[in-house]
Homo-oligomer: A and B are copies of this chain.
Amino acid sequence: MKARVHVMLKNGVLDPQGEAVRHALGAMGFGGVTGVRQGKVIELDLAEGASEADVAEMCEKLLANTVIESYQVEML
């Protein structure tokens, strides 16, 4: 079984990586891009019986820095 975790910077936290992408897209002629936020996606292969709560615990302890990042777990 698989799980997918999205980790994004919380709103209000400065995202220099996303800002750099937005700037680069503008310089390349893609004018219609008004904002970019970049985050991580982590795909986990899990043993049978793993639950969403287990994955949430992994996020809390390792995958996300919950001070500045939010996460979202999706079981596939």
Q: Which residues of A contact B (CB under 8 A)?
A: 6, 8, 18, 21, 24-25, 28, 30-47, 49-50, 54, 57-58, 61-63
Contact = CB atoms under 8 A, between A and B. Distances in A.
Contacts of A47: 31-34
B45 A33 contact: yes
Contact of A62 (B28, B38, B40): B28
B8 A58 contact: no
B8 A32 contact: no
A8 B62 contact: no
8 contacts: A6-B41, A21-B42, A24-B62, A30-B58, A33-B44, A34-B45, A35-B45, A36-B45
